[in-house]
Amino acid sequence: MTTDEHNTAGGLRAQLARVSNLDRRWIFLAMGLAVGVPILLKLRFPEVPGPLAIATFNAIEAVPEGSRVLIAFDYDPASEGELQPMANAMLHHCASRKHKMVFIALWPLGKQMADETIKNVLLAFHPQYQYGTDYVQLGYKAGNESVIKMMTTNIPQAFPSDASGKTLSELPLVADLESVQQVELIITFSAGYPGAKEWVQYAKSSYPDDFVLVAGSTGVQANQLFPYYPKQMEGMLAAIKGAAEYEMLVTAKYPVTKDKERFEEGRRRMGPQLVAHLLMIGLILLGNVAMVAGRSRQSRGGQGAVR
Amino acid sequence: MLRRTIPIIILSATGTMLVVAYFSPFTLSWGETVLDWFNILAAVAFVLGAGNLLAVNLEKVSSRKAGWAYAAITLLSFAAMFIFGIFKVGAVPNPSAPDVHLAGAYEGLPSAFGWMYEYVLSPLTATMFAMLAFYVASAAFRAFRAKNVEAILLLGTAFIILLGRTAAATLLTGWIPVDSAFAVLRLDNVTTAVTEHVSTAGMRAITIGIALGVAATSLRLLLGIDRSYLSKG
């Protein structure tokens, strides 16, 4: 190697090594652009429904039309980005199958999430749904898994009234509802504790053949739930990709004529996710190249010192 | 003596009752009663939590500790939501009792509580969660280094999952025919294989370990061997 080449290589190594100390504000800016630009450009990529989304879709399809369904909104606005698209699609799916829906929440703000979904999806796309006979909002109940446990033996004890204060006997849909074993399907949108895991442990494990359990979960929680699929949870949607795939399946069979964007939220969010993931990979590679360059520079410096 | 013995007796009795109620239909109603107590305690815990929040933050503000301004904001927000909720400020009148203000719905718009939820709480919590993307990117750049074999394996898995959980899987390897012998190399299939055979297997082992640990700890609590929850050994 000539002296010039040696100097050039050394300079490159030095520059790469300096990348290790890159101001994190540049990373924040890059991530902001990676997410923001695809949103503004409405960037979309083709999605192919995976086995989990297909299993979830089929599990709900297999429940007889017009069944009574319990839907638990176990999340809050922090997880709305991931879970709301699947909640929208599942409510549309259930309503298209004419299921009767009972809503509950084990998270304090879950009731608000359910209210919004009822307003924006159930009543907007299926205005024939009547409160009390087609759907009921039982609201939030403190107690985490003990609420689930109690619902397996005595629902009126766990929820003496609906969210507006009406006793269950006044509401035809739930007047005879004693336990969760009387519903055909339980759906939980789960962002953590309490959530899908607790529904498996305290409801499904005790009564494995009485109802179908389907969960929509955040990406970080998905790994904890995979061991329960498919025996203890017949269906499971993981993160925004699961929502995007499921949206495709639902809208293909039950298309909507107005406000289609409501059921394209998952797919719309996959564009920014792809670019953000590519940026992450790029950053990791860059960090490792900088580390190698830094080590190489150090070892050369060390040799020099010995000489 | 009583301060230690009575909690142990309550814990052992209720715990044993719940275990027995699971197996014996005769004691099912006892189990339900215990669960009812638990739900009442869970509701009371909210009151205790609110009291603790007030005490801690008031102390911070009064002693002007570092970050006392945040404590003041917490107290103000707490007071505002409490007043809006309790007094149903701007509540939507109830059709069955339009003249009774407190019969109205306080949660939805245009009530003050609903407004605070819709335009303050909801965007703030969503923003907090969204900011994770920035910190994760920064942390990945600085900490995700291939320093040894384990780290290289972790990096490889991360790349597969990062690509496989997006449309990149289809764009990069979608050209491999699904029914060909090379279909296993499609990124979506590799991702599924990693998830099902590696991640899930590991998670199962962890779950079984946790379950055994929970069973052992529960038994120690029921028998009064573990008394750490009494705060003094």
Best interface-test mutation with B: which of A16, A119, A146, A200 has the largest number of B CBs within 10 A? Answer: A146
B193 to chain A: closest CA residue:
A51
CB < 8 Å to B105, chain A: 164
Q: What is the pLDDT of residues A160-215, one digit of tens each?
A: 999 988 899 999 999 999 999 999 999 999 999 999 999 999 999 989 999 999 99
Same domain? For B74 and B91 the reply is no
pTM to 2 decimals? 0.87
CB < 8 Å to A278, chain B: 168
Among residues A60, A71, A70, the alpha carbon closest in space to that of A177 is found at A70
First-to-last alpha carbon distance for chain A, in angstroms, is 19
Same domain? For B47 and B110 the reply is no
- CB interface of B with A, residues 28-57, below 8 Å: 28, 31-32, 35-36, 38-39, 42-43, 45-46
- What are the backbone dihedrals phi and psi of residue B146, each rounded to the nearest 5 degrees, phi first? -80, 75
CB < 8 Å to A287, chain B: 140-142, 144-145
Q: Do residue A283 and residue B140 have CB atoms under 8 angstroms apart? A: yes
Same domain? For A34 and A149 the reply is no
The whole-angstrom separation of Cα B141 and Cα A23 is 11
Chain A touched by B26 (CB under 8 Å): no
Average pLDDT estimate for A230-250: 94
Q: Do residue B144 and residue A284 have CB atoms under 8 angstroms apart? A: yes
Size of interface A-B (CB pairs under 8 A): 147
Same domain? For A189 and A278 the reply is no
Give residue B15's domain range. Answer: 1-86
CB < 8 Å to B176, chain A: none
Same domain? For B72 and B96 the reply is no
The whole-angstrom separation of Cα A293 and Cα A291 is 5
Q: What is the pLDDT of residues A106-137, one digit of tens each?
A: 998 999 999 999 999 999 999 999 999 999 99
Same domain? For A164 and A285 the reply is no
Same domain? For B143 and B168 the reply is yes
CB < 8 Å to B192, chain A: 50-51
Same domain? For B31 and B101 the reply is no
Give residue A120's domain range. Answer: 51-265
Residue A132 lies in a domain: yes
Residue A168 lies in a domain: yes
pLDDT tier, A8 (very low <50, low <70, confident <90, very high otherwise): confident
Q: pLDDT: is A64 or B167 the higher one? A: A64
Same domain? For A202 and A280 the reply is no
Min CA distance, A2 vs chain B (Å)? 31
Residue A148 lies in a domain: yes
**CATH number of the domain encompassing residue A88:** 3.40.50
Q: Would the pLDDT of A306 be above 60?
A: no
> Average pLDDT, whole number, for chain A?
91
Same domain? For B9 and B28 the reply is yes
What is the reported pLDDT for B179? 86
What is the reported pLDDT for A5? 64
What is the reported pLDDT for B99? 80
Best interface-test mutation with B: which of A284, A286, A291, A295 has the largest number of B CBs within 10 A? Answer: A284
Same domain? For B15 and B78 the reply is yes
Question: For residues B121, B125, B126 and B129, what is the CA-based torsion angle, rounded to 10 degrees?
Answer: 180
Q: What is the pLDDT of residues B66-123, one digit of tens each?
A: 889 999 999 999 999 999 988 888 888 877 777 877 777 777 778 899 899 889 988 9
Residue A57 lies in a domain: yes
Chain A touched by B197 (CB under 8 Å): no
Same domain? For B145 and B193 the reply is yes
Same domain? For B38 and B94 the reply is no
Same domain? For A83 and A223 the reply is yes
Comparing CB atoms, the residue among B126, B138, B207 nearest residue A28 is B138
Best interface-test mutation with A: which of B117, B129, B141 has the largest number of A CBs within 10 A? Answer: B141
Same domain? For A28 and A86 the reply is no
Q: Would the pLDDT of B2 be above 80?
A: no
Comparing CB atoms, the residue among B38, B140, B195 nearest residue A284 is B140
Name the domain count of chain A: 2
Comparing CB atoms, the residue among B39, B174, B207 nearest residue A143 is B39
What is the reported pLDDT for A305? 37
pLDDT over 90, % of chain A: 74
Average pLDDT estimate for A78-93: 95
CB < 8 Å to A132, chain B: none
Among B105, B130, B155, give the residue marking a domain's end: B130
Q: Do residue A27 and residue B141 have CB atoms under 8 angstroms apart? A: yes
What is the reported pLDDT for B232? 58
Q: Do residue A31 and residue B133 have CB atoms under 8 angstroms apart? A: yes
Beta carbons of A99 and A66 less than 8 angstroms apart: yes
Q: Would the pLDDT of B17 be above 90?
A: no
Q: What is the pLDDT of residues B181-222, one digit of tens each?
A: 888 899 988 998 998 889 999 999 999 999 999 999 999 999
> Average pLDDT, whole number, for chain B?
88
What is the reported pLDDT for A301? 65
> H helices of chain A, where?
3-19, 24-41, 51-62, 80-96, 110-117, 123-125, 145-151, 155-158, 196-199, 219-225, 239-253, 265-306
Name the domain count of chain B: 3
Same domain? For A29 and A111 the reply is no
Same domain? For B36 and B11 the reply is yes
Residue A11 lies in a domain: no
Min CA distance, A276 vs chain B (Å)? 8
What is the reported pLDDT for B108? 76
Among B108, B130, B152, give the residue marking a domain's end: B130
Same domain? For A209 and A296 the reply is no
Chain A touched by B146 (CB under 8 Å): yes
Chain A touched by B209 (CB under 8 Å): no
Best interface-test mutation with A: which of B17, B23, B26, B35 has the largest number of A CBs within 10 A? Answer: B35
Same domain? For A131 and A221 the reply is yes
What is the reported pLDDT for A215? 97
**In this structure, are strands A235-238 and A212-217 parallel, antiparallel, or unpaired?**
parallel
Residue A2 lies in a domain: no
Q: pLDDT: is A13 or A229 the higher one? A: A229
Same domain? For B146 and B211 the reply is yes
Q: Residue A109 to residues A194, B25, B84, B114, B118: CA-CA distances in angstroms?
A: 13, 35, 16, 12, 11
Among residues A151, A134, A133, the alpha carbon closest in space to that of A188 is found at A151
CB < 8 Å to B158, chain A: 284
Residue A113 lies in a domain: yes
Among B67, B86, B105, give the residue marking a domain's end: B86
What is the reported pLDDT for A304? 38
Same domain? For A138 and A280 the reply is no
Chain A touched by B133 (CB under 8 Å): yes
Residue A111 lies in a domain: yes
Comparing CB atoms, the residue among B45, B137, B170 nearest residue A27 is B137
Other beta carbons within 10 angstroms of residue B219's beta carbon come to: 13
Helices B122-130 and B132-143, axial angle in degrees (round to 10): 10
